[in-house]
A and B are shown apart, each in its own frame.
Chain A
């Protein structure tokens, strides 16, 4: 009788209703947000190298930021955007921001607004220009190779770009000293093939965790100098700039969910093995 109850528990566990799993995931995400644990975050070399590059550039260097993501990737890439932009602002570099995804510009505008509250001296047209979205993908990049102000005659806010002081020294892709691309899809390949490789521009990539593996070949080949991968990468960058934000606060939740899935899989496999052993034993006993 006892053996049968044990087997039933094992079978029940293996056929666990997905709603129970979803509830456990909700708890794993919510509880660490309410009761932070504060696990230490180690900075990986891939993220460190992007930070070091921006840090090492002389003041006033030209940095191009491509924010190619939409609201779906906002939880991962928005904290990255804020951290990288704040770093650039602190180092007083010149920043041009472009977007190749149609649903992206409003998110970037929101980030700029947040940053300007903290850095009111950061001036549009002088220190930075948010050029907005332009349709065309690779054509936009190729056109920027010739003339950025012609590709974006007006910025996101409707101001003409050619009279802007920042455009005077930063009007072609080859004027870029460093580029950071924040990608949620395949547009990173466009930048590498049609932009940075053509003009030998060093570039760092910030990407969602799910597509980070496809950027490792670029890193190994030296085509990009670093990867900020997913929320973890964003948390590392926040640590580097000394300003923990949304990404850092989400790390405990991410750890909890990963641990939950880890133990669920291990338990499921253990119980599956127990079930197999029990079935074999029953078969032997039946003989």
Chain B
């Protein structure tokens, strides 16, 4: 039966290979450049050319301006439907002013065929089950943030101001001081030799633009068409990113599931957890080291305390240190990160105290080596070759030095147990270590070793979440195959 399943899996992989190689073989035909429009110039006739027809620019009729959603109050936006027959050579130029009478400053220029609303899921998420996440199709959007975006330097000095017909532009959209007056760009700090920067300037990054007035124009071949309406927009900051609504809901859902199973574990502490060979071998490794009279080497990985795998490794260190204390063996914990060092020192000391062996604790057993990656691995390799520990634990996050550490340890004949969620280093540990905890097994180790019902309960909750994800992936894959993207859209990151 087992062989049948294996053969079936191999056949399935080969079929997938055949299908995908077929699709690879069907290389899309290289796009051929459209024939260049015949632009041969006829010989200039003797008589005068007729006058070129006047440039006609169609303006959109459904312009809408509003506060940019899901931002920190520094943005506004303008949207309009694609104008039928609009030329790709048209540029839409948007002007901003602090009063409806101006003066106006150019805020943004974008070509007519660029920037559609559906490209900005972060700001305009819509609802998941309306086609392309509910965003309107064929709608242009102009997003204006952190004005001034005109030709100013960072303290508002005028470099160049465009002067379109009918507008008078002045550099009043720049940083202001406490009294609201533009900061004098000629004030120089004598110490630095640079223009003086006040706290107000620093605080305006990103600049909250408050109430703004927007004017919309279209420009082509030197002709400008100006939309008659002037829009007033109040830019406000939002307190919730709707584009992350699905992530928020699922985070709450998963967190609640885990907490529910933890609560359930209080009532029913007998929870089954499958055997993890690497963790079963911890006692064996410590016992072996004790018999041989050799130390145990424990490495917390090379990441800092901000990395969850380091926290998981420190959790395991606490359990291992407790057992080492019971076995009266010796532990060596070289650290790479200063903060991990202080935490590890406290954990090992407490573990010995809790085991009733505070006198056996050697404070020098947990020490700092260096924070440089390969210097650290060279130092640890030297430790292994000189001290010849009988058991090596590699728990946490590793980079390229994983193979150096593990292979050196293997050469000394030590029993090695590794656990990491660093995908690229797993092959090296699997090849060189006796036992390897892959990915989430590292995070489950604390529960496995302690057998505390509450922590075991969280493992159950995690497993339920995984079952849910597997069902969703299966259903979603089948539906997408038939063109139904509802489930896929539900889980799509919106920006």
Contacts and interface: CB of A to CB of B under 8 A. Distances in A.
Bind each other? yes
Contacts of B194: 160, 162-163
Contact of A185 (B153, B399, B411): B399
B423 interface: yes
Interface in A198-229: 200, 208, 210-211, 213-214
A150 B159 CA distance: 19
A8 interface: no
B432 to A, nearest CB: 12
A163 B146 CA distance: 21
A72 B411 CA distance: 23
A214 B423 contact: yes
Nearest to A148: B154
B374 A146 contact: no
B424 interface: yes
Contact size range, B? 20 to 34
B447 to A, nearest CB: 27
B400 interface: yes
B372 interface: yes
B162 interface: no
A146 B205 CA distance: 6
B373 interface: yes
B111 interface: no
A253 interface: no
B153 A146 contact: no
Contacts of B159: 168
B413 interface: no
B206 interface: yes
Given A162-B194, A185-B399, A211-B424, A168 B372 contact: no
A160 B191 CA distance: 13
Given A146-B206, A211-B424, A18 B400 contact: no
B352 to A, nearest CB: 34
B374 A72 contact: yes
B199 to A, nearest CB: 13
B400 A72 contact: yes
A103 interface: yes
Contacts of B193: 160
Interface string A160-180: 101100001001000000000
A278 B195 CA distance: 85
A72 B373 contact: yes
The DSSP consensus for interface residues of chain A is loop
A137 to B, nearest CB: 10
Interface string B416-445: 000000011000000000000000000000
A147 interface: yes
Given A162-B154, A162-B194, A18 B411 contact: yes
A61 interface: no
Contacts of A147: 154, 205
Interface string B122-156: 00000000000000000000000010000001100
A210 B424 contact: yes
A213 B154 contact: no
A160 B197 CA distance: 15
A150 to B, nearest CB: 8
Interface string A81-108: 0000000000000000000000100000
Contacts of A150: 154, 202, 205
A196 interface: no
Interface in B325-359: none
A118 B154 CA distance: 34
B423 A213 contact: yes
Contacts of A103: 372
Contacts of A146: 146, 205-206
Nearest to A146: B205
Contacts of A208: 400
Nearest to A198: B122
A163 B400 CA distance: 41
Contacts of B205: 146-147, 150
Contact of A213 (B146, B192, B424): B424
B154 A171 contact: yes
Contacts of B423: 213-214
A276 B447 CA distance: 41
B246 to A, nearest CB: 17
A149 B119 CA distance: 29
Contacts of B119: 200
21 contacts: A72-B400, A103-B372, A146-B205, A146-B206, A150-B154, A150-B205, A160-B192, A160-B193, A160-B194, A162-B153, A162-B194, A162-B195, A168-B159, A184-B400, A200-B119, A208-B400, A210-B424, A211-B400, A211-B424, A213-B423, A213-B424
Interface of B: 119, 146, 153-154, 159, 192-195, 202, 205-206, 372-374, 399-400, 411, 423-424
A-B pairs, 3 with minimum CB distance: A146-B205, A72-B374, A210-B400
Given A18-B411, A147-B205, A160-B194, 14 more contacts: A72-B373, A103-B372, A146-B146, A146-B206, A147-B154, A162-B153, A162-B194, A162-B195, A171-B154, A210-B400, A210-B424, A211-B400, A213-B424, A214-B423
